[in-house]
Amino acid sequence: MSLNGKYSLGIVITFVLLAFSIFYSIPLINLFFQSKSITSEIFFYNRLSLWLVLLLVLIYNFFIENRSFFIWEDRKYSAGFYLASVISLYLICVIGGAFLNAIIMLITHEKISDKLLQLNSVFKNNYFLIFFTCLTAGVIEELLMRAYIQPRIEKIYNSPALGIVVSSLLFGILHSSYGTLGQVVIPFFIGIVFSVFYKKYSNIKILIICHFMIDFISLMMMNMMDIKNLSLLNL
């Protein structure tokens, strides 16, 4: 198999494993524990399954691709650049996401995700789960969607634009488990922002930090306030 063939297979395997973990791991965990609802313990195991996906992709990369996981070497920047980048990306994603969600709600009269409402009780005052969930999302999603999938798509098709758009589209699809249009469109928008940044600056650590911040601040706000007051964020 050619290197591009190995990359293509790796992309498919990565997306399928992520989709399985996100869409089907909770029903399987519920079946194992003979539970019918999402508890903090079950959601924790669900997050652990994403780390297993990363491990499997790393194994595939090491034994099958036999190349560096990072096609684009991480560039080093000053602390000031890190700070400015994280703040700028955060503001772009939050403000842009809120604007997009407001338009979607205005046009479709879409209500807040039922799954998000259910998770609100799971996260309530569970600060360890909030931290672990945000850390998992930041590390796993950025390493797999940006560092792994995006540059490989670009390499296969020799198209930076295709790498950005397809990886962002897959990122949005993976968030469709929340069951709302906003939870697909907004992650797609964030994916575009992050992918463009990664293509230009090739630093995954900044994206991990920013992704963590977006989720952590949103979940902390959700924990402290009535979730209905957070519908414009919908992140």
pLDDT tens-place string over residues 93-104: 999 999 999 999
Query: Which DSSP letter does residue 117 get?
Result: H
Long-range CB contacts (within 8 A, 24+) of 171-176: 171/141, 171/145, 173/19, 174/15, 174/18, 174/19, 174/22, 174/141
Mean pLDDT over each residue of the chain, to the nearest integer = 92
Whole-prediction pTM value?
0.94
At residue 117, the pLDDT reads 75
Span 75-89, average pLDDT? 97
- Asked if 84 and 37 touch (Cβ cutoff 8 Å), the reply is no
Instruction: List, as one string, the DSSP characters of 158-209.
Output: T-HHHHHHHHHHHHHHHGGGG-SSHHHHHHHHHHHHHHHHHHHH--HHHHHH
pLDDT confidence tier of residue 235, bands split at 50, 70 and 90: very low
At residue 230, the pLDDT reads 47
129: left (phi over 0), alpha (psi -120 to 50) or beta: alpha
Q: What is the pLDDT of residues 104-159, one digit of tens each?
A: 989 998 877 777 777 888 998 999 999 999 999 999 999 999 999 999 999 999 99
∠ CA 118-216-198, nearest 5°, is 120
Amino acid in position 135: L
**Chain centre distance of CA 202:** 18
For the chain, the domains span 3-70+78-232
Q: For residue 60, is pLDDT > 70?
A: yes
Residues 6+ apart with CB under 8 A from 30: 36, 37, 38, 42
pLDDT confidence tier of residue 231, bands split at 50, 70 and 90: very low
Q: For residue 234, is pLDDT > 50?
A: no
Span 25-38, average pLDDT? 88
